[in-house]
Amino acid sequence: MGTIKWFGGFLGWVVLGPIGALLGYLAGAAFEGYLERSEQGGPRGWSSGGSQGGPQRRRTYSPEEQQNSFIVSLLVLSSAVIRADGKVHPTEMDAVKDFIRRNFGEQAVPEAIRILNRLNGQQVNIYSVGGQIAANMNYSQRLQLFHYLTRIAVADGEFHKSEKSVLEAIGTTIGLSDADTSSIISMFYKENSSAYSVLGIPPSATDDEVRTAYRRMAMKNHPDKVATLGPEVQRAAAEKFRQIQDAYETIKRERGMA
């Protein structure tokens, strides 16, 4: 599968800014030519508050553009997570392969891994990349992106402090609240109070606060909110949604709540 075919859906924000520039460098002449043709048509995909100067506007992206932008954002940020502990673990690479395989098919895996390997040799600036993501991806999609990144971090069976620190930095730079960042990390990094952390509340919360927190988290993380990203991402979002429900049920049992 040629690079130009895989990136053919990038008519949106990902062809510009730090992600587009990084991929243009990594993917070679085919994508660079596509990037140049896109830029000749004028700036697209930057919302107000982006890092490019001059007049900016927000546009509506097609489902294909949203899916491709989501996947490439995952690929770029995955390299920062994978290298957080100073090693490139095969199981973490396998987690990325599995995601690409499920979304693009087996034929897409070699190209994705080739680019990821090159990303692993670069110093990815998560702040500039994260800023582009925060400006152009809706909040529910960013939550799901962060969930995938956290899953990759624990794919080797461990959750290192360095990985947790990188994830927390990514959560901040893509515009997630501290509570939502901690919530998703708590789904994988189990502690005695992890059920409360998943709901973004302390163990001292009242029963009413528990119910309110559950409703708030369920609303933000409902699988329907990422339906445009395709069935595989929606299934993963359903898994995250179940983890929130499980945390709520755990607290209810512990407290004897009706």
120-134, 172-186, 225-239 — most confident range:
172-186
What is the span of the domain harbouring residue 245?
Answer: 192-258
Spatial separation of the C-alpha atoms in residues 48 and 209, rounded to whole Å: 35
Examine the pLDDT at 4 and tell me if it is beyond 80.
Answer: no
What CATH code is carried by the domain that includes residue 225? 1.10.287.110
Separation in Å, CA 107 to CA 6, 10, 21, 27, 164: 10, 19, 25, 17, 32
- Residue 31 CA: distances (Å) to CA of 23, 40, 141: 8, 14, 25
Residue 41 lies in a domain: yes
Per the document, the length of the chain is 258
Note every long-range contact of 214-222, with CB atoms under 8 Å and residues 24 or more positions apart, other chains counting.
Answer: 214/244, 214/248, 217/183, 217/244, 218/244, 218/245, 220/139, 220/140, 220/143, 220/180, 221/140, 221/143, 222/140
Shared domain for 201 and 170, answered yes or no, is: no
- Cα separation of 99 and 74, whole Å? 10
At 138-167, the pLDDT tens digits run 999 999 999 999 999 988 887 888 999 999
Counted domains in the chain = 2
Is residue 187 one of the residues assigned to a domain? no
The whole-angstrom separation of Cα 138 and Cα 150 is 19
Kindly state whether residues 99 and 134 are assigned to the same domain.
yes
Highest mean pLDDT among 83-87, 103-107, 248-252: 248-252
Residues 83 and 164 in one domain: yes
